[in-house]
Homo-oligomer: A and B are copies of this chain.
Amino acid sequence: MSLDIPDVVIQRLPQYLRSLRAFKNKDIALVSSTNLGAESGVTPAQIRKDLSYFGKFGKQGQGYNVEALTNDLTRILGLDQSWPVILLGVGRLGKAILTYPDFTPEGFYIVSAFDSDPVIVGTKVASITIKPVEQIKTYIRDNNIKIAILAVPGDSAVNLIDEIVQAGVKGILNYAPITPKVPENVQIQNIDPVHSLQTMTFHLSEINSNPNN
């Protein structure tokens, strides 16, 4: 498979997958790129272009087979396996993440959680006993962990990222309000509500400065 697939394309695939499942739930077996586009909020042309990176899907004039495309996208996205995940930082946000109901149905299992606060270490959240952060590297190596969720303050995040990457983590879901640099073979996705709000206020300010809008 080509490694030259643009990131924006890959980022749209989970949305297509979700839309396909919505069709499946409605017992719809075939969809056109127009149907899929209406459900995903992406133009039909873009969908056809995105999918063309991965081979030939759908038949001219017949549309896509919902089940087949669901299976293909599941496999392409690596979701035909389950992924053990560790959580670093069990403050308020970490606790919310530990009890988030939508990871497990998608194959992401939080198998262990770590904190530096001795008051938190040893307590139990959602049936997981919080371990001391000092054990993190050993745990990653012993359990071949590839994905970590980071819910620590910005100032502790940078060092922690170095440590877990050294120990073998290849994918980081980062909630710390920083944009860390990671080696090229490590994936990082930053979840940053302030960035998201700032992107919106750009547009809201335009509305404000144009009362006709």
What is A's interface to B at a CB cutoff of 8 Å? 1, 3, 7-8, 10-11, 13-15, 17-18, 40-41, 76-79, 81, 83, 85, 91-93, 95-97, 99-100, 102-103, 106, 108, 146-147, 149, 170-171, 173, 177, 179, 181, 185, 187, 189, 191, 193-208, 213
Contacts and interface: CB of A to CB of B under 8 A. Distances in A.
Contacts of A194: 14, 102-103, 106, 108
Contacts of A7: 199
Given A92-B95, A96-B93, A197 B189 contact: yes
A195 to B, nearest CB: 4
Interface centre among A103, A170, A179, A202 (most CB of B within 10 A): A202
25 contacts: A3-B206, A10-B199, A14-B194, A14-B198, A14-B199, A15-B179, A41-B181, A78-B202, A78-B204, A78-B205, A92-B99, A100-B193, A102-B177, A103-B197, A106-B198, A146-B204, A147-B197, A147-B200, A147-B201, A170-B207, A171-B200, A173-B200, A187-B199, A189-B200, A191-B196
Contacts of A41: 179, 181
A158 to B, nearest CB: 12
A11 B78 contact: no
Nearest to A203: B187
Contacts of A76: 202
Contacts of A193: 97, 100, 102-103, 149, 173, 191
A109 to B, nearest CB: 11
A202 B103 contact: no
Nearest to A75: B205
Nearest to A187: B200
Contacts of A213: 185
